């Protein structure tokens, strides 16, 4: 290629590539911005989003937890701590253990959801809530009276629960 030809190629390349780049940027200029103005607006998250843990309660406000510690064993981080004692007056046949301590260290939790899958009575759930930051790590240890505050059951779930209590043998067979 002659020097003049090379020069002309450089000039053409400069103009063409600049034009191409400018087409890309103007495309983004006329597109709607991606920004979500967080404290004022929030993106929609799935109802199955793995956020903060919640314990579910029956219609009397008592958690469904039977104190089996399946969740604590399933936890890869070992951040669930449960202490139980014998319950003098159990609400039903399955909840014969009284839950003295049930804490989840949310600062150590990696939100894998294995504890939720391990729960045999579907007591422990995760809800789409991600706004629970605290000033200290100690406050991140969730107690079931505070951060794990009970999640009421839906009508359908209450119905199923009632059916289970009517047929305890069948319900036990299902869990095993």
Partner 1 sequence: MRSGLIESFVGRLVEPLVHRFPWITYIAPVVIILGLIAVAVLLIIYFERKVSAHIQSRLGPMHHGPHGIIQTFADALKLLHKEDLIPECADRALMIIAPFVVFIPAVMVYVVIPFGPGWIVRDLNIGVLYLCAVTAITTLGVLSGGWAGNNKWSLLGGLRAAAQVISYEIPMVLSMIVVVMLAGSMSMVKIVEAQNPVPFVLYPCGLVAFLTYFTSALAEVCRNPFDLPEAESELVAGYHTEYTGFRFAIFFMAEFANVMAVSMIAATLFFGGWLGPFGPSVLWFAAKTVLFIFVFMWIKWTLPRLRIDQLLRVAWLGLIPICLANIGLAVAVLALKAYIVAG
Q: State the residues that interact with partner 1 by CB under 8 A.
A: 7, 10-11, 14-15, 18, 21-22, 24-26, 28-29, 31, 33-35, 37
Please report how close the Cβ of residue 13 comes to partner 1 at its closest, in angstroms: 11
Nearer to partner 1, 18 or 134 (CB): 18
* Closest distance to partner 1 from the beta carbon of 5 (Å): 14
Q: Between the CA of residue 35 and those of 1, 52, 67, 164, what are the distances in Å?
A: 49, 25, 44, 48
5 CB-near residues (< 8 Å, 6+ apart): none
> Considering the complex, what minimum distance in angstroms separates the CB of residue 32 from partner 1?
8
Sole residue written with tokens 């609400």: 91
> In the complex with partner 1, which residue's Cβ is closer, 34 or 46?
34
Of the pair 35, 60, the CB lying nearest partner 1 is at 35
> Which residue lies nearer to partner 1 by CB, 8 or 49?
8
Q: How far is the CB of 131 from partner 1 (least distance, A)?
A: 21
Specify the 3-state DSSP secondary structure of 134. Answer: coil
Structure tokens at 127: 């809800």
Residues recorded for the chain: 176
Torsion over CA: 71, 76, 80, 81 (sign): positive
């Amino acid at each position: 290629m002659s020097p003049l030809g090379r020069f002309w190629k450089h000039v053409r390349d400069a103009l063409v590539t600049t034009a191409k780049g400018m087409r890309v940027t103007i495309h983004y200029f006329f597109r709607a911005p991606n920004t979500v103005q967080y404290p004022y607006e929030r993106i929609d998250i799935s109802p199955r989003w793995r956020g903060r843990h919640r314990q579910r309660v029956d219609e009397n406000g008592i958690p469904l937890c039977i104190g089996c510690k399946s969740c604590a064993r399933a936890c890869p981080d070992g951040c669930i701590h449960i202490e139980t004692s014998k319950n003098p007056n159990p609400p039903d046949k399955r909840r014969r253990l009284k839950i003295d301590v049930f804490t989840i260290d949310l600062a150590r939790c990696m939100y894998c959801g294995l504890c939720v899958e391990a729960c045999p009575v579907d007591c422990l759930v995760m809800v789409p809530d991600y706004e629970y930051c605290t000033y200290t790590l100690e406050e991140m240890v969730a107690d079931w009276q505070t951060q794990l505050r009970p999640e009421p059951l839906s009508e359908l779930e209450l119905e199923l629960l009632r059916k289970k209590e009517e047929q305890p043998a069948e319900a036990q067979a299902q869990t095993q």
